[in-house]
Amino acid sequence: MLDLSELGVKSLRGGITQRPLGLDVTDIRQPWLRDILVTFIAEMKPNTTEARRGLRVCKAVSRALDTRIGGGMDPAKLMFADMNAVVDTFRVLPKLDGGPLSSKQRGALLSFFFKILDYNRAAGHLDGMSASFARHSSHVIKTEEVDEDEAGKALPESLIAQLDDYVDLLGQGMTHGKMTPEQVQAMARAVYELLRETGRRPYEIAELRTNCLKHADREWLLIWDNRKGRRLNRRLELEHGTVETIRTWRAVRDTLDLPTGSEGFLFPPQRVRTASSVIWCPSRSRR
């Protein structure tokens, strides 16, 4: 069991997490795979959501390699076919509760595994690994055709990875009403994570209400308005990490001195006198 606080993992609110949160790595059968996950967490200091995502993807890789000859135990003997088997596993990867994942979500999880693998290779922790066990241009998960209610236009995974590397800089140097610099950074991070994970347009995130989170049929849902399609109160299934993003920001929001008229919005504006003077406030002309 890994203690994330001892490894210096960041909390979603910023700073090192103070709670003794544990990751159970016993289901990762290959010692080298456990090692690269621990090394990535210890050296890159991701936040708690990213650490759990790393555990999830490494468990999936472990299951895929477990079906191969030798069980993927010796990194020096891994072949291109072993990587193909790993990618094929992500192509059909379900949610943690067994439900279907979107192709975008499966692609993001696969990219996160490659991020862990590539970091360890570049840092010299995998000098004995076979060069054949690496990403190829064929190792992609094609995006499925979906309607606007399900997903927006996704950024390339390579760009998302670059943005993730600098997420701690979001909101720095910005002012927003009476909010402290720490509160501004927390809001900027929450907005970014919602944009990244939901595929919604910026104004759709800006228009989210404080009660946008709903639990129904054992699923967490985002309640949002598709104003372009003139369809209100749409529902979008959320991953656990995205739910935690909203909860974490709401805890920060509860400490704010909010301007009158902004109480119902998840992301309050600086002021609500005119729509043109608001950074995060939705346009009143759309109402």
Q: What is the mean pLDDT of residues 47-64?
A: 92
Mean pLDDT of the chain: 83
287 pLDDT band, cuts 50/70/90, is very low
Per-residue model confidence as pLDDT tens digits over 195-246? 988 888 899 999 999 999 999 878 899 999 988 778 888 989 898 889 999 9
pTM of the model: 0.52
| Matching residue, tokens 């079906």 | 67
Listed by start position, the domains of the chain span 2-122, 157-286
Instruction: Indicate the pairing of strand 231-237 with strand 219-226.
Output: antiparallel
Q: Is 269 helix (H, G, I), strand (E, B) or coil?
A: coil
Q: How far apart are CA 132 and CA 36, in angstroms?
A: 17
Q: Which residues pair with 222 in a beta bridge?
A: 213, 236
Cα maximum dimension of the chain: 67
Per-residue model confidence as pLDDT tens digits over 133-183? 999 999 999 876 555 555 554 566 667 777 888 888 888 888 888 889 999
Q: Is 162 helix (H, G, I), strand (E, B) or coil?
A: helix
More confidently predicted of 21 and 18: 21
What is the strand order of the sheet 213-216 is part of? Answer: 213-216, 219-226, 231-237
